[in-house]
Amino acid sequence: MKPTLIASNVVPLKQDTNRFDQVQLALLNQTEQVALIDMALELLTLRHQPGKSLCSPDDTRNFIRLLLSEVKNEVFGAIFLDNKHHVICHENLFYGSLTSASVYPRVVVQQAMEHNAAALILFHNHPSGYPEPSQADIHITKRLKDSLELIDVRVLDHIVVGTQGDVAFSERGLI
């Protein structure tokens, strides 16, 4: 027999919005912080498993921020999507230095074809913490978009994350 939850013991999150208020993040030790980050990443990973739809733009941004939060060097990747925008997979494609990563359109096109993707969301981090896209970011995004259009793969967004926030190219009209 499967264990069941007793409805009277379950408090819906909407009714108990303050249940995490008691967690004082600044007082957590390093091990507790890592455990909390791991739990949050696991939760967001569950939402971005193959076959699942992206829940919301904020969910996707949070997932990328957590994915790259502890990375000290620049990392460039993509979330590959099918024709209904369900997640096929996500991959870190290029690893760089503190200030840049070399990105090759040929590799991104190859990976999109390998995963049979119909669309993708590009992402990378700025280890400096400042998420404002550089001219190089804007240029490579255009090159990638143009290259991927040749094989009928749409670039839905490019999200740049840093410790000071994130920037979505789609919100800036850069895609």
So where are the chain's domains?
29-172
DSSP 3-state assignment of 75? strand
pLDDT tens by residue, 104-113 = 999 999 999 9
Distance, CA of 4 to CA of 165 (rounded, Å): 40
Stretch 117-137: mean pLDDT, rounded? Answer: 95
Query: Among residues of the chain, what percentage have pLDDT more than 70?
Result: 78
Pick the CATH number of 29-172 from 2.40.170.20, 2.40.10.220, 3.40.50.920, 3.40.140.10: 3.40.140.10
Residue 89 has pLDDT above 70, yes or no: yes
**pLDDT given at position 18:** 53
**pLDDT given at position 13:** 44
Stretch 145-164: mean pLDDT, rounded? Answer: 96
Distance, CA of 93 to CA of 112 (rounded, Å): 11
**pLDDT given at position 117:** 98
Residue 115 has pLDDT above 60, yes or no: yes
With vertex at residue 144, the alpha carbon angle to CA 141 and CA 147, rounded to the nearest 5 degrees, is: 150
* CA end-to-end span of the chain: 52
Distance, CA of 116 to CA of 139 (rounded, Å): 25
**pLDDT given at position 40:** 74
**How sure is the predictor about 5, in pLDDT bands with cuts at 50, 70 and 90?**
very low
Residue 9 has pLDDT above 70, yes or no: no
pLDDT tens by residue, 17-75 = 555 555 666 677 888 877 877 777 777 666 655 566 766 778 888 889 888 877 889 99
